[in-house]
């Protein structure tokens, strides 16, 4: 699970032209995930809160960056999928960090990143422990950053156990996005995920531990909602443990007022040293995750673009520039310069306008199709909403579902890049084919004959025909050309399935 999308950061204030060029290189796919529907689908004050948040808004994740600072190492419980001792600069998954920071170091890092990465809109504290349990460090960091960069959106992630006693301070600090990881509402299910918790100065185990955790999570969630803090619920999908149960979890979260539900696949590998990894508990396959998300998505806001970031991630979702901003590389002292971020936002407003036009055209093209089986389409993109990456360079594929109803984002599937130093690696290609499960076609800027043939043998077409087009336009164009013929009525009918 290596770094995903490469991005050359903007170095301080730059021209709009340079920023527009940079936009074309960065970010991730057209956002049809997160809060769906955009500005018209929610009250204006909510849209104002989420429109530039890469995790909460439908399309913001292609334009805006987040950073996590690893200031909160202590945790008050144990999850069977977590081993915080594991540390690898190339490993992208929650809880993993290369460097733990003191609050003053974290504030210095945030200023350095804000000066160098104008896409930055969000600062989050997401471990490697629990932000609410390790509250003194979390609070000191947020206070220092708020003073240095007042307009940065502040976020935290928590297991919820120590959340209720922090809610008042969270609201007072102006933290209006909180993520709670909730994997169950039935303590019997929780007992298979959490071996123990530490609460009220003692250790609890088994079903009782999960009962306490559940009550604290729901209490904290309701308290936040009462204070108009937006709550995202993360759930880890663990096949055979809580996968079916997550439908009940989703319904309960919606009823309690959570803004967004994010179901993430269990990452399980013996090398990570987690209980689940060592005992052979598998994670879900891509199509299992999609099937669950599809069922959960009926009538609820669902996040589908989560990249399961490191606790010290920096950059647009899907990339990690953390290694550029390690403590040793930070300036001893630097004042925040707001010019770069302000100028970048103006560029984004224009880009969003162009994207909206492109989407409307794609929708109109699809509406002319009469018979319309849905298909999954994967896209290789370096960002900017375009099909602009070579197959062999991709470290993730963006998967969309297309039908006459439109193009919808399904999720990002991580892969190891196939091309290594100019040579193709067979093992990486096998991994990519497995990751593309269920996909009919992969749209790329370029692909070699050898991987193209291998993909074809696995039933996946690879096409360069829509290279450098907007993603939705390219997908609609492929769908119309591959599956329809124009009838006498001027509408299209199914040609092939
Ligand atoms: S709550 Fe977070 S930091 Fe604590 S054990 Fe679970 S995953 Fe790890
Ligand atoms: S882990 Fe998911 S929700 Fe958290 S910052 Fe990364 S993409 Fe956003």
Same domain, 203 and 272: yes
CA 104 / ligand 1 centre spacing (Å): 24
Res 27 pLDDT > 50 = no
Same domain, 301 and 378: no
pTM of the model: 0.84
How far apart CA 462 and CA 5 sit, in angstroms, is 20
Q: In whole angstroms, how far apart are CA 326 and each of 99, 100, 110, 331, 381?
A: 7, 10, 11, 10, 27
Last residue of a domain, one of 329, 359, 378: 329
Q: Which residues are CB-neighbours of 337 under 8 A, at least 6 positions away?
A: 12, 13, 115
Phi and psi at residue 482, in whole multiples of 5°? -85, -25
Taking a C-beta distance cutoff of 8 angstroms, is the pair 182, 190 a contact? no
Full DSSP string of 97-164: -S----HHHHHHHHHHHHHH-TTEEEEEE--BS-TTTTHHHHHHHHHHHHHH-TTSEEEEEE-STT-G
Tokens of 231: 């709550």
Taking a C-beta distance cutoff of 8 angstroms, is the pair 155, 179 a contact? yes
Q: Is the distance from the beta carbon of residue 79 to the nearest atom of ligand 1 less than 6 Å?
A: yes
Same domain, 293 and 380: no
Is 176 domain-assigned?
A: yes
Is 418 domain-assigned?
A: yes
Taking a C-beta distance cutoff of 8 angstroms, is the pair 68, 310 a contact? yes
Furthest C-alpha separation in the chain: 76
Nearest to 394 by CA among 447, 437, 342: 447
Residue span of the structural domain in which 454 resides: 368-494
CA 296 / ligand 1 centre spacing (Å): 24
Is 314 domain-assigned?
A: yes
Same domain, 182 and 284: yes
How far apart CA 208 and CA 39 sit, in angstroms, is 43
> What are the tens digits of pLDDT across the range 325-373?
998 999 888 899 999 999 999 999 888 888 889 889 988 888 888 766 8
Is 17 domain-assigned?
A: no
Same domain, 321 and 393: no
Res 387 pLDDT > 90 = yes
Is 167 domain-assigned?
A: yes
Binned at pLDDT 50, 70 and 90, residue 111 comes out as very high
pLDDT of 92 reads 52
Nearest to 157 by CA among 145, 166, 148: 166
Q: What share of the chain is helix, strand, coil (3-state, %, to 5)?
A: 35, 20, 40
Binned at pLDDT 50, 70 and 90, residue 102 comes out as very high
Same domain, 378 and 274: no
Range 314-324 average pLDDT: 85
Pocket test for ligand 1, best of 72, 76, 84 (most atoms within 8 A of CB): 84
| Angle, alpha carbons 52-301-2 (nearest 5°) | 65
Range 11-16 average pLDDT: 36
CA 230 / ligand 1 centre spacing (Å): 21
Cα radius of gyration rounded to whole Å, the chain: 22
Range 488-497 average pLDDT: 56
Is 339 domain-assigned?
A: no
Same domain, 144 and 284: yes
CA 198 / ligand 1 centre spacing (Å): 12
Res 175 pLDDT > 90 = yes
Same domain, 323 and 231: yes
Is 74 domain-assigned?
A: yes
Q: Which residues are CB-neighbours of 478 under 8 A, at least 6 positions away?
A: 377, 441, 443, 463, 465, 466
Same domain, 415 and 268: no
Pocket test for ligand 1, best of 74, 76, 78 (most atoms within 8 A of CB): 78
Looking at the structure of the chain, the number of domains it has is: 2
Same domain, 397 and 318: no
Q: How far is CA 32 from the centre of its chain?
A: 12
Same domain, 308 and 422: no
pLDDT of 331 reads 87
CA 180 / ligand 2 centre spacing (Å): 12
Ligand 1 atom closest to residue 129's alpha carbon, by position in its atom list: 3
Q: Whose Cα sits closest to atom 7 in ligand 1?
A: 82
How far apart CA 312 and CA 325 sit, in angstroms, is 10
Last residue of a domain, one of 329, 355, 378: 329
* Ligand closest in space to the Cα of 158: 1
Q: Which of 40-44, 167-171, 412-416 has the lowest average pLDDT?
A: 40-44
Last residue of a domain, one of 279, 311, 329: 329
Would you call the peptide bond into 54 cis, given omega within 30 degrees of 0 as the criterion? no
Q: Is the distance from the beta carbon of residue 307 to the nearest atom of ligand 2 less than 6 Å?
A: yes
Pocket test for ligand 1, best of 77, 156, 311 (most atoms within 8 A of CB): 77
Same domain, 262 and 129: yes
Is 32 domain-assigned?
A: no
CATH of residue 433's domain is 3.30.420.130
CA 262 / ligand 2 centre spacing (Å): 9
CATH of residue 291's domain is 3.20.20.70
Q: Is the distance from the beta carbon of residue 180 to the nearest atom of ligand 2 less than 6 Å?
A: no
């Amino acid at each position: 699970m290596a770094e995903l999308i490469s991005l050359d950061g903007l170095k301080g204030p730059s021209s709009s032209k340079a920023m527009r060029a940079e936009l074309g290189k960065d970010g991730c796919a057209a956002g049809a995930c997160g809060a769906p529907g955009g500005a018209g689908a929610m009250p204006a004050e909510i849209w104002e809160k989420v429109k530039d948040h890469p995790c909460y808004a439908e399309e913001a994740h292609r334009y805006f960056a987040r950073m996590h600072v690893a200031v909160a190492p202590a945790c008050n419980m144990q999850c069977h999928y977590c081993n915080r001792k594991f540390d690898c600069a190339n490993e992208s998954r929650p809880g993993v960090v290369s460097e733990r920071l003191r609050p003053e170091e974290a504030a210095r890092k945030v200023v350095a990143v804000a000066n160098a990465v104008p896409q930055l809109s969000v600062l989050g504290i997401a471990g490697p422990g629990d932000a609410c349990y390790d509250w003194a460090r979390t609070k000191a960091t947020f206070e220092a950053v708020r003073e240095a960069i007042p307009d940065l959106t502040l976020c935290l992630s928590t297991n919820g156990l120590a959340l209720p006693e922090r809610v008042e301070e969270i609201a007072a600090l102006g933290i209006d996005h909180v993520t709670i990881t909730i994997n169950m509402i039935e303590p019997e299910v929780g007992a298979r995920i959490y071996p123990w918790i530490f609460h009220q100065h003692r250790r609890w185990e088994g079903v009782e531990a999960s009962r306490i955790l559940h009550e604290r999570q729901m209490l904290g969630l309701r308290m936040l909602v009462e204070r108009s803090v937006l709550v995202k619920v993360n759930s880890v999908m663990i096949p055979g443990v809580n996968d079916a149960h997550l439908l009940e979890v989703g319904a309960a979260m919606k009823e309690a007022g959570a803004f967004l539900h994010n179901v993430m696949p269990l990452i399980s590998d013996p090398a990570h040293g987690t209980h689940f990894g060592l005992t052979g508990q598998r994670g879900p396959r891509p199509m299992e995750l999609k099937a669950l998300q599809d069922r959960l998505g009926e009538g609820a806001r669902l996040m589908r673009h989560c990249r399961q970031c490191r606790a010290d991630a920096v950059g647009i979702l899907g990339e990690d520039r953390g290694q550029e901003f390690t403590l040793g590389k930070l300036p001893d002292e630097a004042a925040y310069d707001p010019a770069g971020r302000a100028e970048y936002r103006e560029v984004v407003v224009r880009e969003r306008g162009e994207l909206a036009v492109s989407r409307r055209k794609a929708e109109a093209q699809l509406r002319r199709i009469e018979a319309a089986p849905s298909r999954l389409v994967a896209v290789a993109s370096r960002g900017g909403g375009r099909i602009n990456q070579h197959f062999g360079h991709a470290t993730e594929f963006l998967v969309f579902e297309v039908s006459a109803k439109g193009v919808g984002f399904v999720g990002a599937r991580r892969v190891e890049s196939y091309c290594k130093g100019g040579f193709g690696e067979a093992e990486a290609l096998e991994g990519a084919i497995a990751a593309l499960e269920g996909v009919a076609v992969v749209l790329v800027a370029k692909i070699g004959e050898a991987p193209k043939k291998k993909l074809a043998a696995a039933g996946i077409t690879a096409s360069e025909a829509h290279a450098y087009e907007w993603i939705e336009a390219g997908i609609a164009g492929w769908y119309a050309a591959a599956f329809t013929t124009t009838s006498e009525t001027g509408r299209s009918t199914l040609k092939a399935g």
